[in-house]
Amino acid sequence: MNETAAVPELDIDPYAPENLLHPYPMHERMREAGAVVRLSPYPSVMACARHEQVHAVLNDHATFISSAGVGLTNFRTEKPFRPPSLILEADPPHHTATRAILSRILSPKTVMQIRATFAAEADALVERCVAKGEIDGIHDLAQPYPLKVFPDAVGLDGEGRENLLLYGDLVFNSMGPRNELLARSAERVGPVTQWIMDHCQRAQLRPGGFGDQIYQAAEAGEITMEQAPMLVRSFLSAGVDTTINGIGNALYSLAQHPGEYARLHGDPALARPAFEEALRWESTAQTFYRTAVRATEIAGVPVQENTKVLCMLAAANRDPRKWPDPDRYDITRRPVGHMAFGSGIHGCVGQAIARLEGEVVLSALARRVKRIELTGEPTRRLNNTLRALETLPLRLIPA
Ligand code: QZP
């Protein structure tokens, strides 16, 4: 018997504009076709869209490795667009030391220390939005907030921060195929990459900030001095575009569900679970990959060595096998086990900070705003990996 014949093959391109715009019908087709499927536009890839298999792949890091890249590109055979990340695109034992440093810098203790500042910034920004009345939820709130608080915490000065947005767009597009989206963000790559690398240098980083703390770890001998700027680069790659879109998606989720917003307004302590449920309902990072380091199987389906395995995080987060009424946005669901931050040893190391940002923004809103209304159709910013809005026209009705 031909083993590959047992694997359902779908004529789906997850990176086609219509699927990026409306991913949920595609997710359902992939989940229902089988535990593992093939996609005809990418014949060498195997894809998982059910929660159980996405979880299994991400939690077997010895078989499903990250050092061959977590995008479609296989670093063993194709050149990565930038030197690989020392944490994202690394396996144990290399991953272990870098992860330990970032994990310590972004620890619960740090979150306690920065909480008051992050909350005050959210209050001030939401106050300005309420004064305006009609806002663009992305340009007036979801974007400026992380762009202020996170680079401040890393220790960058104020100038040139829009480069972080251009760089994030590039990093997340680079995890998909070499399509139009990647070509367009790659046009700007030269100056942006230079700006990013310059701002990974210690002289650009305020003493005591997250960036400087990486250099302190290098001084202590935990990593080399050459590795330090590369780890700062991980902050600048992963720390802004992700939370911008997490907050943007949460605002849109609430704007589409006035009943859920009313519950949040009635009890602002629901800000944190409301943000968490938005991460499940509209995962910011929709997809990433692992690579099988040896011949193995997933749910009994043989997987050859060196196969790229596409993990559909956003599909797993609406898998009816895992979640009752999965398409319902319910701020009291408490969606423990969602895949929006990944899972396993590579699970988002900054998730406590991301949650803090989401919580304080939604809490500031809940306390000041009685209702939020969509005043027009939002528009999307298409990206190969991120679920992102370009505009979100809103009216904020003060409490
Ligand atoms: C991006 C890095 C959703 C993730 C893939 C976000 C991400 C994490 C780490 C890095 C970049 O280390 O550069």
Domains and CATH numbers, the chain: 9-398 (1.10.630.10)
Positions in the chain short of pLDDT 70:
1-5
CA 327 to chain centre: 20
Q: Residue 2 has what pLDDT?
A: 46
CA 387 to ligand 1 center in whole angstroms: 15
Cα(28)–Cα(316) distance, integer angstroms: 10
**C-beta neighbour count of 197 within 10 angstroms:** 16
CA 238 to ligand 1 center in whole angstroms: 5
Report the pocket of ligand 1 as residue ranges, CB < 6 Å.
70, 85, 87-88, 171, 234, 237-238, 242, 285, 288
Hey, whose CA ends up nearest to atom 2 of ligand 1? 234
**What single letter denotes the amino acid at residue 212?**
D
Q: Residue 4 has what pLDDT?
A: 47
Q: Residue 188 has what pLDDT?
A: 80
Cα(71)–Cα(91) distance, integer angstroms: 15
Q: Residue 5 has what pLDDT?
A: 53
For the chain, the distance separating the N- and C-terminal CA atoms, rounded to the nearest angstrom, is 67
Which residue(s) pair with 46 in the sheet?
Answer: 38, 309
The percent helix, strand, coil of the chain (3-state, each to 5) is 50, 15, 35
| Pocket residue to mutate for ligand 1, from 150, 171, 241, most atoms within 8 A of Cβ | 171
| Pocket residue to mutate for ligand 1, from 98, 105, 237, most atoms within 8 A of Cβ | 237
Q: Residue 114 has what pLDDT?
A: 98
CA 53 to ligand 1 center in whole angstroms: 22
**What pTM, to 2 d.p., does this model score?**
0.97
Q: Residue 141 has what pLDDT?
A: 99
Hey, whose CA ends up nearest to atom 12 of ligand 1? 234
- Whose tokens are 């740090």? That residue is 110
How is residue 56 written in tokens? 């299994």
How is residue 117 written in tokens? 């500042």
Q: Residue 1 has what pLDDT?
A: 43
Question: Of 296, 320, 323, nearest to 309 (Cα)?
Answer: 296
Q: Residue 35 has what pLDDT?
A: 98
Atom number in ligand 1 closest to CA 70: 5
How is residue 305 written in tokens? 């060595």
